[in-house]
């Protein structure tokens, strides 16, 4: 049960931020917090799914209560989960561009790095505190960042095509 505590506490945070924005009529920003909750559901719960078939071929390190992958883009790490990590953060990129239509690729990159680093830092911290059992993987930072950038680029194209999305 204690392994669920970080997710429960973070969920309370997302709900409180959503309610605050609801009260201040910041409806667009609520989508961002809901996306953050969805990402924390996928990454900060003690339920880990593996879609890789060559996990044993990835060079890993055991540190601070968890498994770490610090060498990026090892051939065995580019598997189904690699592509799904990109896909899971595309909606956050879409929401980012929807909320900040004047931003471009540098801000997308910073937002993507923020998302990726936050998710992996949370996994590292929660591994240490409650033995969450999640991998802390540099590839996830890269793929999460790429997903946000792709999502923002998709939304920019849609905003230019349909001016009502601004």
Q: Where are the alpha helices (DSSP H) in the chain?
A: 5-23, 27-43, 80-99, 105-130, 138-161
Tell me: pLDDT of 48 over 80.
Answer: no
User: pLDDT tens digit string along 50-78?
Assistant: 665 666 688 998 988 889 999 999 998 89
Mean pLDDT over 88-100 rounds to 96
Is pLDDT above 70 for 146? yes
Whether the model clears a pTM of 0.85, i.e. scores above it, the answer is: yes
pLDDT at 142 over 80: yes
Instruction: State residue 1's pLDDT score.
Output: 84
Residue 54's pLDDT is what? 63
Q: Please give the Cα distance from 43 to 25 (Å, whole number).
A: 29
Nearest partner of 18 among 6, 30, 1, judged by Cα: 30
Average pLDDT value over all residues in the chain = 92
Count of CB atoms situated within 10 Å of the CB of 105: 12
The first and second tokens of residue 136, run together, are 């802390």
């Amino acid at each position: 049960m204690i392994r669920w505590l970080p997710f429960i506490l973070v969920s309370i945070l997302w709900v409180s931020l959503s309610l605050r924005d609801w009260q201040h009529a910041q409806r667009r920003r609520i989508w961002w917090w809901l996306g953050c909750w969805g990402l924390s559901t996928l990454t900060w719960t003690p339920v880990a799914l593996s879609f890789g078939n060559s996990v044993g071929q990835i060079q890993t390190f055991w540190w601070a209560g968890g498994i770490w992958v610090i060498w990026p883009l090892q051939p065995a790490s580019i598997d189904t989960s690699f592509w799904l990590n990109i896909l899971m953060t595309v909606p956050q990129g879409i929401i980012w561009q929807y909320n900040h239509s004047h931003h471009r690729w540098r801000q997308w990159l910073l937002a993507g790095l923020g998302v990726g680093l936050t998710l992996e830092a949370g996994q590292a911290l929660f591994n240490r505190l409650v033995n969450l059992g999640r991998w802390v993987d540099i590839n996830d930072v890269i793929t999460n960042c790429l997903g946000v950038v792709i999502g923002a680029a998709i939304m920019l194209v849609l905003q230019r095509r349909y001016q009502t999305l601004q």
